[in-house]
Amino acid sequence: MEYLPLKAGNLITILVPINLIFSKIIEFIKRYKNKKVENVFRVFTLVFGIGSTAIFYILDYSMYFCFTWIGSLLIGLLQYSIVYRNVEKESNEEINELQKLFSFFSIILGIFIIIIPHTKIFNLIGGGIDSKVDSISKIVFAILGICHIILNEYILSKIQTCLSKNC
């Protein structure tokens, strides 16, 4: 038996998107929050991973899916706990044109990621094999797309400006 196949193994439909969600959220927390919030997020993720894996097992998802699910959460947790990415703390400076352009492309990428499960691309990367796994994968892709839309510098600076002015 081939272990970790790309299509049937949910690697591209579950593992990679969860890892990218981790990177976006951890980068946001490191930029705007303190170490305590980061540790709370890690503990919450660990509890969520164990609990959701138990629920998936009880709901008769395959053992392989349960392993992929808990593995992707633990890999993301360990990867972003051990590998330190130097992220600058956010200042109240104005957003320049290049940052606005990157934020625009991040929004476009987020919309594209949300649409992926509803296209044939999803079937090419391993979707459509199991309807239960597809529903979870669609939720994961939606969360990843929303993270790309909301957690970009331009949107966050606008929210921060609005909150400081009590809009």
pLDDT higher for 12 or 101? 101
Structural domain harbouring 66: 11-164
Number of H helices, E strands in the chain: 7, 0
Residue 2 lies in a domain: no
Domain count, the chain: 1
- Averaged over 82-93, what is the pLDDT? 62
Residue 4 lies in a domain: no
Does the pLDDT of residue 84 top 70, yes or no? Answer: no
Read off the tokens for 103: 């934020």
Residue 3 lies in a domain: no
pLDDT higher for 51 or 68? 51
Would the pTM of this model clear 0.85, i.e. be above it? Answer: no
**To 10 degrees, the CA torsion angle through 92, 97, 99, 105?**
140
115-166 pLDDT, tens digit each: 998 888 888 887 777 788 888 889 999 999 999 998 887 787 777 777 777 6
Q: Is the dihedral of CA 127, 129, 133, 134 positive or negative?
A: positive
Mean pLDDT (the chain, rounded): 81
Residue 113 lies in a domain: yes
Residue 109 lies in a domain: yes
Which residues lie closer than 8 Å to 15 by C-beta, 6 or more apart?
68, 71, 72, 75
Does the pLDDT of residue 71 top 80, yes or no? Answer: yes
Residue 122 lies in a domain: yes
Residue 72 lies in a domain: yes
- Residue 64: per-residue pLDDT: 83
Residue 5 lies in a domain: no
84 vs 75: CA distance, rounded Å: 14
35-45 pLDDT, tens digit each: 888 889 889 99
Read off the tokens for 70: 């808990």
Count Cα neighbours of 127 within 13 Å in the Cβ-side half-sphere.
Answer: 19
